[in-house]
Structure 1
Amino acid sequence: MNLKSLEKRLTYLTANAIRDYRMVEDGDHIMVCLSGGKDSYAMLEMFRLLQQRAPVRFDITAVNLDQKQPGWPEHILPDYLDSLGVNYRILEQDTYSVVKSVLPEGKTMCSLCSRLRRGALYTAAEEMGMNKIALGHHRDDLVETLFLNLFYGGRLATMPPKLKSNDGKHVVIRPLAYVPEQYLEQYAGHKAFPIIPCNLCGSQPNLKRAEIKRMVQAWEQEDPNRLNVILRSMQNVRPSHLADTDLHDFAGLQGSVAPGMPDPVTGEEDAFAGLQADRVDAS
């Protein structure tokens, strides 16, 4: 796919996600979190293009968190953003040393690193008066997270396209929620983004996410539309056809025969009427 066609497809998918979840509104000031990876570079480009075409007016500020990883090329992002004329801010916080000192050797770093990074971004957003925080997670990330939670967390959950933080102060948006990763890879190649690899988590072997990613990629090779179907399933949830008693009143479901009364067909009484069973823990 050539650059023009690819960019048209990316803006279409991004605009659809923004519209469906009302991610961007008139007067928003959006923190565009820039990691140095292909996804966040593409997200920044989508926002820049949509600023020219969107029916609402919004401001963007690119923000990068310098986590003080050894060998981090500090000049690359400022040079790139200066060349675009984009407003930006580089935050500095040594989360690298914190993660390395707290976690034992061989322990997965992603969870702690993510929490520390999120805290720094939330604080900066509040200080700078930005009401939305945009992250570059794409369709494949959402699908992979769904299966990570399903296989290893015992829950049906993923990264939502739009989320309010626990303290209620921040709204996190994921405008690339509909975009396949392969489009972003192609786009990064066309645009020659100055990619900066993350040596903190990328160097860890046997990550569960990498296992899930291989599984998902194999599925996509078998059926190129499968991940889109899985994404649609996340938008078409039927609590009554799952098993969560907090989401659906299974206990209150009754047929036409009142509990304890003889069935008019069989004449038998409901043997379980009045009994109250504890929830079964199948773990």
Structure 2
Amino acid sequence: MQTSESTSVPTSAAPPTEAERRAAHEINKLSKRLHRQVGQAITDYNMIEEGDRVMVCLSGGKDSYSLLDILLNLQQRAPINFSIVAVNLDQKQPGFPAEVLPAYLKSRGVDFHIENQDTYSVVKRVIPEGDTMCSLCSRLRRGILYRVAGELGANKIALGHHRDDFLGTVFLNLFFQGRLKGMPPKLVSDDGRHTVIRPLAYVAETDIERWAAHRQFPIIPCTLCGSQENLQRVQVRKMLREWDQKFPGRIDNMHRAFSHVVPSHLMDRKLFPFETIRPTGQADPMGDKAFDHDDDEDDDACATPAAAEAGLPAEAAISLEALRRTLSPSSPFLPAQD
């Protein structure tokens, strides 16, 4: 007796919805932007060279995961050959899931090393409860990672600090240290043996958050500094986030200022010889226009009374004022027009 068997015909997958297409488009744009910005930072500061062995410090947070992920992608299409080794310092924090990072790194097929050092107990023993732990924790971690880099033959140490970290450091130094100092994208390590690089220097933290969510990194929260909400750095980060929301573009402009420094317009005598400058008698197109209006004043305030009475637009008024200063060396002292 023959029996008939029914065979199910596989149905084709449903086409993506409009929302799914838009989401995929946005992620593609984000990916291109992140890889372009990291590649640009590496190029601008010559961070990675032929034959380098780059030790990527992996904490288990969104920043270091994103750094490793992007560097691995760039490594595949870079015009130079360099190797990557991921290193995690297991500080023996209570409840730290020691199996998470090795499992992830094995899945990526990347060379890695887990360094086990109980710095957690040292920090908790030395720092009184409620005080900031970051400084001591950072010094201990830095010394260990320098040693590990030497043992692994790594000449470059890559850290996951991003654009917002750079800005936050400037304001921390400005507010609490009385100095204009930021976070360099590239420097020589304290021991003089390695080069420390920060390839995420151009990357916004919000983009890293989106990338980490998209890539579904197994994030491991820090129970030391990550749990201290009263940190000055945390307060500065909140301030920057509020500015970014209220004034789009402000953070980008501030970050851009890092690479457009004018030492002659600051006050550091070690950077510019204020004591020895003298008039040369030659016009300097880049010289200071000491009596000009500040750039942040309203355009209408830059118009001369005569220009305003003539009904000229603000742009024309500014041009007229600039022309008058050009024609007359004493133009800053010209009397007001009747």
Q: Per the alignment, in what secondary structure is the counterpart of residue 218 of structure 1?
A: helix
Which residue of the partner structure matches residue 5 of structure 1?
A: 29
Give the Cα–Cα distance (whole angstroms) in 2 for the partners of residues 165 and 229 of structure 1. 29
Which residue of the partner structure matches residue 125 of structure 1?
A: 149
Which residue of the partner structure matches residue 115 of structure 1?
A: 139
Taking only aligned residues, the RMSD between alpha carbons, in angstroms, comes to: 1.3
Question: Do residues 141 (structure 1) and 162 (structure 2) align?
Answer: no
**After the TM superposition, which residues 137-216 of structure 1 pair with which residues of structure 2 at under 5 Å, given as runs?**
137-216=161-240
Q: Per the alignment, in what secondary structure is the counterpart of residue 25 of structure 1?
A: coil
Q: Specify which of 19, 26, 44 is matched with residue 20 of structure 1.
A: 44
Give the Cα–Cα distance (whole angstroms) in 2 for the partners of residues 239 and 35 of structure 1. 37
Deviations 1:74-125 (A, max 9, x none): 0000011111111100001111111111112221011111111111110000
Question: Do residues 240 (structure 1) and 264 (structure 2) align?
Answer: yes
Write the letter of the residue equivalent to 1:54: A
Cα deviation, residue 167, structure 1: 2.8
Cα deviation, residue 190, structure 1: 0.7
Write the letter of the residue equivalent to 1:69: Q
User: 5+ unaligned residues in a row in structure 1: which ranges?
Assistant: 258-283
Which residue of the partner structure matches residue 275 of structure 1?
A: none
**After the TM superposition, which residues 62-77 of structure 1 pair with which residues of structure 2 at under 5 Å, given as runs?**
62-77=86-101
Write the letter of the residue equivalent to 1:16: Q
Cα deviation, residue 3, structure 1: 2.7
Give the Cα–Cα distance (whole angstroms) in 1 for the partners of residues 190 and 149 of structure 2. 15
Deviations 1:219-261 (A, max 9, x none): 111222111111111111111111111111112123479xxxx
Deviations 1:5-27 (A, max 9, x none): 21111100100000000001000
Question: Do residues 80 (structure 1) and 80 (structure 2) align?
Answer: no
Cα deviation, residue 166, structure 1: 2.8
Question: Do residues 45 (structure 1) and 75 (structure 2) align?
Answer: no
Write the letter of the residue equivalent to 2:38: T
Deviations 1:165-221 (A, max 9, x none): 133211000000000011111111111100000011122231101110111111111
Give the Cα–Cα distance (whole angstroms) in 1 for the partners of residues 178 and 147 of structure 2. 31
Give the Cα–Cα distance (whole angstroms) in 2 for the partners of residues 224 and 89 of structure 1. 41
Q: Per the alignment, in what secondary structure is the counterpart of residue 268 of structure 2?
A: coil
Q: Specify which of 48, 54, 57 is matched with residue 33 of structure 1.
A: 57
Bigger helix fraction: 2
Q: Per the alignment, in what secondary structure is the counterpart of residue 190 of structure 1?
A: helix
Give the Cα–Cα distance (whole angstroms) in 2 for the partners of residues 163 and 45 of structure 1. 23
Give the Cα–Cα distance (whole angstroms) in 1 for the partners of residues 191 and 106 of structure 2. 34
Return the structure number with greater relative CO, CA threshold 8 A, min gap 6. Answer: 1
Q: Specify which of 113, 116, 138 is matched with residue 92 of structure 1.
A: 116
Give the Cα–Cα distance (whole angstroms) in 1 for the partners of residues 40 and 206 of structure 2. 18
Q: Per the alignment, in what secondary structure is the counterpart of residue 5 of structure 1?
A: helix
Deviations 1:22-49 (A, max 9, x none): 0010000000110000111110111111
Q: Per the alignment, in what secondary structure is the counterpart of residue 38 of structure 2?
A: helix
Write the letter of the residue equivalent to 1:63: V
Number of equivalenced pairs? 257
User: What is the TM-score with the length of structure 1 in the denominator?
Assistant: 0.88
User: What is the TM-score with the length of structure 2 in the denominator?
Assistant: 0.74
What percent identity do the matched residue pairs reach? 58
Q: Specify which of 84, 95, 111 is matched with residue 60 of structure 1.
A: 84
Q: Per the alignment, in what secondary structure is the counterpart of residue 32 of structure 1?
A: strand
Which residue of the partner structure matches residue 224 of structure 1?
A: 248
Give the Cα–Cα distance (whole angstroms) in 1 for the partners of residues 76 and 138 of structure 2. 32
